[in-house]
Structure 1
Amino acid sequence: MSYVETFYRPGAAADRPRPALAGRLEVEVAVVGGGLSGLTTALELARRGRSVAVLEAQRVAWGASGRNGGFVSPGWACGYGTIRRAVGEAAAKELHRLSMEGVRIVAGNLQALAVPDADPVPGILSAVRYEATQELKKQRDWLEREFNYRTEFKTREELAELVSSPCYHQALYNSNGFHFHPLNYARALAREIERLGGRIFEGSPVVALETDRPDKLVRTQGGEIHARHVVLASGGYTGGLVPALARSFLPIATYVMLTRPAPELIATAIRTRAGIADDRRAGDYYRLVDGGQRILWGGKITTRTSEPRRLAELLRKTMVATYPQLKDLPVDIAWSGLMSYARHLMPQVGRLKDGVWHCTAFGGHGLNTTAIGGLVIAEAIAGESDRYRQFAPFGLVWNGGIAGRLAAQLTYWSYQAADFFRERRSA
């Protein structure tokens, strides 16, 4: 089944719709949000024998969790230097190790659950559009020295054997990173939760929470759940359900497109199955899918939460600017999804009050970070660790309201301008 069929063809969903919550249910943990952070939290709890129920307003992984580019590699949306300035060298290194552990969690789930339609492919190229030989070698050496993590420097000539673009200068190749089909992965997590006795309810938006009581009450239109713990993992679709969360993240839209099948034409530009991401602060990421027949291309972010007109044309213009030989390659479909970003660009992982947890704001680097976020919350609920406290320096900072959205958009545009002038100097 192709990517287009999996995502958007009617009747092609791999899982049948799950029922909405009806009546009264008692569990130990109620998870609000059926994206990757919520599913990982629920799975880790189910593996520990805890009774758990997931409430999803739409379908499992309906939002950005199922619509993203599928890249899995260490790191956070916030750069290491910024993290170090905020928490110090030792804590920054521990956080980076957590991000590496997140990659291993995803890889381990793929292997343990034998997800044949996730189609994992090894390798990620981080390419630059300016002369950066010394910077990339320094980054390579630092990763190996501090984390025993090996990457490979690619010269311009070596990179040209993999991608035929006039834009790129050098790259770091990460053989331990990989890319895959995120929606099919999420569906596999959901099936495993249910196999272990967990419950998942779709079409069940939460309309009310009562958390100032020993048994927390989570109410939908059709029913209610009583639980000792509630985990809020609803990402960019949280809305105003929990004011403290609503005030602390920005819903940011990101865009993805799929081209029509054209393997011979695509091979004139891209001759690697590795995923490719440039290091622009306003960057693009893309990879071959469906056995090399199509390109999945993502990029561009905006605070505008509605899908813009001419979305496919906007993304295609970026692709052709990178690979002029693809000017005749049409787009099959394009879509957007909402991510949640905190102003500090780190995940918001922690405890709001006794028995109420949050695990959200994974925008920009979510596939590894949702995995580790879900694990540390599950460990905390199970009484195994307090590793979630490593995220305490990055709390629920006010998002700035309307001014915050405007500032985020202006920052993105400034990144685009900085990228342009940096690349122009290296042209």
Structure 2
Amino acid sequence: MPQAYIDTYYSRTLASPDAYPAAAGPIQADVCVVGGGLAGLTAALKLASSGRKVVLIEAQRVAWGASGRNGGFVSAGYATGLAAIERRVGADGAKELFRLSMEGVEIVRSTIEALGIEEARPVPGIAKALRYDSAGAMRAACEKQRRDFGLQLRYLPRDEVRSLFASPKYHEAVLDEGAFHFHPLNYARALAREAVRLGAAIHEGSPVLSADLDGPRKIVRTKQAEIVAEHVVFATGGYTGSVLPALRRAFLPIATYVLLTERAPDLVQSAIRTPAAILDDRRAGDYYRLVDDGSRILWGGRITTRTTDPRDIAALLRREMVTTYPQLSGLKVEVAWSGLMSYARHLMPQIGRWKPGVWYCTAFGGHGMNTTAIGGTVIAEAIAGESDRYRLFAPFDLAWNGGILGRAAVQLTYWAYQASDAAREWRSL
């Protein structure tokens, strides 16, 4: 039996109770997708719409992991910056990859509109806010991105920032009016329903136990089923098992934490006076937004390499919230949760072909809503023979994660970011 969705804002506001049976018996397919998160669902939907016989198997429930319990931010970009991408692929390659990330945003937006997914509740606008004075650097970066990519960006000076976010911490911001935030779990479940309507089969509670991937016909086995397919797509994330060792060795499971406050519209509006979501530009920073028509705050932040939940998730996050907005000191937390994201050491998605007929589409931590959409799309295009755009991600392959030392390095890097953030803020006082 699959595990139930954990207690989150999203599981509390599910739009439908759809469930899918476990895989059973011999199953023939053109494509077997392993993983029912947003990348796997996007690939399955696109392949089903092109007439392929698709079987998607998920160990738990559709979007049970990071895809269904994240911040819900949909904006262009990757977990790493454009400068880091340029160093690996050059300026032209970096721009092409960034445009793909923009396309990912439009895939999500157009899918919501085309399928009428009202329960996804999209709200326009994401602001990136600074806790220090960038001395003109933020405005210049805003203008450059507008010029280079046509993004709908608007620079917000200090007075306007503090009228929208009533916090003494913020100095300036950039509002991305083309970005949006939404309900990712309802969106994912809508993708599943549409894929099934188009002929795909989805099976929950069906973890993969073994796989034979060398022959022209691949065999994937669960406890009760044997799926034979020409192609297998591994679209797993922070909960990836050991069936494909190369994949497991290539990602780092990183935990992040989110809370939901009680309903208190007047108190909430005393602090946050915009429907736009806020992304704290600190590398060790926070992200948050209003939900339930502005009556509650969904606040996320902090990352660790520990895979077990600390007992004080709510207290840790609430401290960050109240430090930023002292007027919220009386606001209570209703529920808090965590989830594992998958990160590669290079902080880019891992999208590609492992061997003929075997594909991987993972490592979307930190910027997953747009990158899962483009990842699932380009893998589906490759299988359908429509494009080879997945090759743009070849420089960001399944690099070894560093094992225990890799996790330690990530945690040390995070602590270093925290120290650097604190120093910059202190200099701006």
Match of 1:224 among 220, 223, 226: 226
Matched AA of 1:410: L
Residue 41 (structure 1) aligns with: 43
Q: 1:382 and 1:12 mapped to 2: Cα distance?
A: 33
Matched AA of 2:252: L
Match of 1:100 among 95, 98, 102: 102
Residue 132 (structure 1) aligns with: 134
- In the TM superposition, residue 164 of structure 1 has moved relative to its aligned partner by 0.2
CA contact (8 A) 1:22 1:224 kept: yes
Residue 3 (structure 2) aligns with: none
Residue 144 (structure 2) aligns with: 142
Matched AA of 1:305: T
Map 1:409-420 to 2 at 5 A. 409-420=411-422
Q: 2:198 and 2:9 mapped to 1: Cα distance?
A: 25
1:320 equivalent in alignment to 2:322: yes
Q: 2:225 and 2:96 mapped to 1: Cα distance?
A: 42
With over 3 angstroms needed to count, the CA separation of the structure-2 counterparts of 1:112 and 1:62, relative to structure 1, is: same
Q: 1:319 and 1:376 mapped to 2: Cα distance?
A: 38
Residue 110 (structure 1) aligns with: 112
1:333 equivalent in alignment to 2:335: yes
Residue 290 (structure 1) aligns with: 292
- In the TM superposition, residue 14 of structure 1 has moved relative to its aligned partner by 2.0
Q: 1:15 and 1:47 mapped to 2: Cα distance?
A: 24
Give aligned pairs, total.
Answer: 424
Aligned residue for 1:254, secondary structure, equals strand
Aligned residue for 1:161, secondary structure, equals helix
Matched AA of 1:326: L
- In the TM superposition, residue 150 of structure 1 has moved relative to its aligned partner by 2.8
Q: 1:5 and 1:291 mapped to 2: Cα distance?
A: 17
Q: 1:135 and 1:49 mapped to 2: Cα distance?
A: 49
Q: 1:339 and 1:210 mapped to 2: Cα distance?
A: 27
Q: 2:49 and 2:164 mapped to 1: Cα distance?
A: 41
Unpaired stretches in structure 2, ≥5 consecutive residues: 1-5
Q: 2:10 and 2:308 mapped to 1: Cα distance?
A: 19
Q: 1:23 and 1:393 mapped to 2: Cα distance?
A: 39
Q: 2:387 and 2:135 mapped to 1: Cα distance?
A: 41
Q: 1:139 and 1:14 mapped to 2: Cα distance?
A: 42
Match of 2:357 among 355, 358, 362: 355
Matched AA of 1:327: S
Aligned residue for 1:384, secondary structure, equals coil
- In the TM superposition, residue 269 of structure 1 has moved relative to its aligned partner by 0.3
Matched AA of 2:368: G
- In the TM superposition, residue 15 of structure 1 has moved relative to its aligned partner by 2.6
CA contact (8 A) 1:140 1:150 kept: no
- In the TM superposition, residue 13 of structure 1 has moved relative to its aligned partner by 6.8
Map 1:274-289 to 2 at 5 A. 274-289=276-291
- In the TM superposition, residue 362 of structure 1 has moved relative to its aligned partner by 0.3
Aligned residue for 2:27, secondary structure, equals strand
Q: 1:319 and 1:335 mapped to 2: Cα distance?
A: 15
Match of 1:385 among 384, 387, 394: 387
Matched AA of 1:116: E
CA contact (8 A) 1:75 1:365 kept: yes
Map 1:28-427 to 2 at 5 A. 28-427=30-429
CA RMSD of aligned residues (A): 1.3
Matched AA of 1:414: A
- In the TM superposition, residue 274 of structure 1 has moved relative to its aligned partner by 0.3
Aligned residue for 2:164, secondary structure, equals coil
TM-score (norm 2): 0.97
Q: For 1:117-162, what per-residue CA distance to the aligned partner results, in whole angstroms no more than 9, with x for missing partners?
A: 1110000110000002511111111112111223111011011111
- In the TM superposition, residue 5 of structure 1 has moved relative to its aligned partner by 7.6
- In the TM superposition, residue 6 of structure 1 has moved relative to its aligned partner by 5.9
Unpaired stretches in structure 1, ≥5 consecutive residues: none
